[in-house]
A and B are shown apart, each in its own frame.
Chain A
Amino acid sequence: MFMRIWNLAVKELLHLWRDKLILLFVLLGPISELTMVAWATSGGIEHIPAAIVDRDVSAASRELVQALENTKTFDADFYVQTEDEARLLVDTGAALVAVLIPPDFEERLVAADEPAQVQIILDGTDPSAARAAQMSAEGAIATFSNNIALERLGSLVTGSGEVISLDVRVWFNEELKTSNYEVPSELGFMLAGVALILASLGIARERELGTLEQLLVTPLRSTELILGKALPILMLSYLNFLVMLTMVVFVFKIPMRGSWSLLLVIAFFYLLIEMVWGLMISAVSRTQVQALMLAFALIMVEMIFSGFAFPVENMPPLLRGVANLVPIKHWLLILRGILLKGAGVEIFWKELLSLATLGLVVIVITILFLRRRLE
C-alpha cells in the first residue's frame, strides 16, 4: 500500500518538477509578495501633502501648522492664498488635505471670547489617507486647544504641568508597526492560498484530461489515490511555509517570541486542513476552471474573514459568527500569538480547539465524499 501511495506521490512530484513555473511560483511568489507587503506597510501612513491657507499669518497660526506637522502625518508642502487654490491642489491630487486658517484666528485666541476656527478639508477619494489624516488632525488640534485652555485656567486654578498624565505602554508591538501585523498575516494567508490552489486543481486536472480514468483502472485504491495526491502538495506547501517563515523572522525581523516547535506543528495541521478543502473542491468540480472558481471564492472568503485587511471584531454580528467557521481566522490569531506575544497553548487553546474541530469535520466529509466520487 505504501509503495503504491509513494509511486503516485513520485508521479505528482515529477509533474510539478517538470512544470518549473509552478515551483517558481510556489517558492519565489511568496518571497516577492512578502517583500512587497513588508515594504508597503513598514512606514505607516505618513507625509500626507497638505495645502495650507493661512490667512492669519500670525504666531498662533504658525504654531498650529507646526503642531500638525509634528504629528508626521502631514507635510505642509503648499502655502496658498485662497481656498480655490487649495481646491485646485486637492483636485489634481497634489495635496490630499487642505488646512484653512481664517484671518481672525490669533485675535480670537487672544480675546478668548469665542472659539478660533480652523477648517480641515480631507480628500474623500482616498479613504485610508483621509482616515489617518482625520485621526491625526483631531488629536493634534485637541491637544493644541486644550493646552491653551489649560493655560488660561491654569494661571487661575492649578499649578503647572498636566492635569492627568497618561502613561501609555504598548505591549507585543512596542512601536505599533503595521508590518508586525500585516507580514505574519500575509505569511498565514499565502500558506492557505498556495495549498488551496495546488490541491484544488489536482484531481480536477486528471478528470479534465481523462487521465483519472486511467488511474482508476490501476490497482490503486481510492484512499491511496487521495493520499498519493495529497502527499506532494503537503510537502511542497510545507517547504513553502518554511521558506516564508525564515524570511519573516530573519529578513523582515518580525519578532519570534514563542515556541518554534509549536508553530511548526500547528502550521502543519493547518496546512492539512486547507489542503483537504482544496481536495474537496477538486472532487466536486468537473473542469479546472470550475475548480479555480471555487478555490478563488474560498480564498476570498478566507481573506475577508482572516482579519487581515480588516479586524473581524468590527464586522456585524452575523459575519463575526461566520468568521468562526473559517479556519484562517483561528490560524492567524495563533500565528500572531506565537510570533508577537510568545503565547502558548494555554492562551490560544480555544482557537486551537476550533481549528481542530473544523479540520476534523472537513477531513471526514472530504474522505467520504472523495471515496464515493472515485469509486
Chain B
Amino acid sequence: MNLLRTWAVIRKEARHILRDRGTLILVTISPVLLLLVMAYTFTVDIENVAVAVMDRDGTTLSRRYLAGLGGTGDVLLKYVAGDYDDLERWLMTSEAKAAIVIPPGFGADLHAGREASIQVLVEGTEPVTANVAMQHIGGYTQQFALAVVSEAAARAGIPLDEASLTPVDLRLRTWYNPTLKAVIGFLPALIAMVMAMPSVTATMALTKEKEHGTLEQLIATPIRRTELLVGKLLPYLLSGTLAIVLCVVVAVYWFGSPFEGSFALYMVLAVVFLLAMLAIALILSVFTKTQQAAQLGAFLIFFFPGFFLSGIFYPLVSMEPLMKMEAYMLPTTHFVMIGRGLMLKGQGGEELWPFALALLAMGFLFLGLAILLFKKKIT
C-alpha cells in the first residue's frame, strides 16, 4: 500500500465531500438533527389518555370515583356518554382510548358492603397507550376501594392508621439515570442509531462513481484496490467521527446527559463502530449499480434493523434466542451497549471488552470481505 497514492484518493474524496454541501450535511449534520428530533419525539411520557365515561349510577360515590380518576392526570375524562352507541363510536374512531361504565347500583353495593363492579372497555389498537390506561384505572380503583372500606371502618368506630392502609411501601429508584428522564436513557442508543447516516452516504458516493463511470478511470490509474478503498473510506470515517462528537456534545450540553466513563475510550470504540458500519456500506456498494438501488439498500440495511433489533425500543432480554443472535450480528447493538456503559454507567474496559471485541472483529471481517469482493468484482 502506497501512502502517497492513498493520500491522493483521500484528498479527492475529501474535496468531493466539502464541495458537495449536500454530502457534508448528510454525513455530519444530519445525525445531530435526527438525534434532536428523535430525542424529543420518542421520549415523551404517556399521560392524559383520553377516556370516555358513562355514569349510569349517578350517586355521590360514582361521581366521587370519576372525579378522583380525572384528578390523577394520567387519564383525561374527555367524553361523557349517554348510551353505549356513543362509547362505541368514540372507541371506534380512537377519539377515546378507553371507556368506563359505572352500572346502576354501584353506590348502593358499595354502601351495603357487596361487591360493586365497573366495566372498562379498552381500545386495543395501540397497546402501549392501552396498557397505560388499564394500569392507571386499575391502580386508582384499588385505592378508591380501600378508601371507601376504611371510611366504613372509621364509621364503625374501628381505629385506623396509615400503616394499615399501606402495608407495603414501594420505593422505586433508578440507577445511572437518577432524574428518571427517559431521554437520558435513550440518548446513547439513539446516537448509535443515527450514526447509520455516514454509511448511507458512503454507499451512495461509492455507487455514484460506478454510475458515472469514474470508477473505471480511477481503476485505470496506478492506484491499488486497497488504497482506493481505504482512501475512499477515510474521509467518511473522519466526518462520521466528527458527527459522533457533535452528537455527544448535544447529548451532554443540550440534554444534560452525564458522561461517566472515559470519553477517549468512547471515541476509540466509536471509530471501530464506524469502521464496521462503513465496511458494510462498501460490501453493499460492490453489488449496487445505481444510486437508487444503493439508497433503497441502505435504507433497508442500516435503518430498520437498527431501529427494531438493536435493543433501543425492544429490550434484548425479551427477545427469542434466534433473534438475539441476529441482533448481536449488528454493529449497532454493540455500540448501544458501549454507549450506555460509558455514558451512563461509568463502565470501563473490563465490562465492555466483549462488545469492543465484537465490534473489532466485525470491522475487520467486513472490511476484509469488502476488499476481497471489491477486488473480485473489478478484476
Contacts and interface: CB of A to CB of B under 8 A. Distances in A.
Interface of A: 19, 21-22, 25-26, 29, 32-33, 36-37, 39-41, 43-49, 64, 87, 90-93, 96, 109, 112-132, 134-135, 137-139, 141-146, 148-150, 152-154, 156-159, 161-174, 176-178, 180-181, 193-194, 197-198, 201-202, 205, 209, 287-290, 292-293, 295-297, 299-300, 304, 307, 309-311, 313-316, 319, 333, 336-337, 340-341, 343, 347-348
A82 B279 CA distance: 45
Contacts of A347: 92-93
B71 interface: no
Sorted nearest first, the 8 A-B pairs with minimum C-beta distance are: A124-B177, A173-B124, A127-B185, A163-B145, A115-B169, A145-B168, A125-B340, A129-B315
Nearest to A194: B296
B259 interface: no
Question: Interface of chain B, helix or strand or loop or mixed?
Answer: helix
Given A25-B293, A40-B308, A293-B26, A47 B317 contact: yes
Contact of B117 (A164, A180, A198, A209): A164
A314 B149 contact: no
Interface in B291-324: 291-293, 295-297, 299-300, 304-305, 307-309, 311-315, 317-320, 323
Interface of B: 20, 22-23, 25-26, 30, 34, 37-38, 41-50, 91-94, 110, 113-132, 134-135, 137-139, 141-146, 148-150, 152-153, 156, 158, 161-178, 180, 182, 184-186, 188, 200-201, 204-205, 208, 211-212, 287-293, 295-297, 299-300, 304-305, 307-309, 311-315, 317-320, 323, 337, 340-341, 344-345, 347, 351
Contacts of B305: 36
A168 B164 contact: no
A255 B201 CA distance: 39
A311 B292 contact: no
Contact of A201 (B138, B146, B162, B292): B292
A93 B337 contact: yes
B314 A40 contact: yes
Nearest to B21: A290
A118 B166 contact: no
A144 B142 CA distance: 11
A91 B148 contact: no
Given A91-B347, A163-B110, A36 B309 contact: yes
A26 to B, nearest CB: 7
B18 to A, nearest CB: 13
9 contacts: A117-B168, A120-B172, A129-B315, A139-B139, A157-B149, A165-B115, A292-B200, A296-B200, A313-B50
B127 A173 contact: yes
A348 B127 CA distance: 20
Contacts of B129: 311, 313
B118 A109 contact: no
A289 B164 contact: no
A139 B138 contact: yes
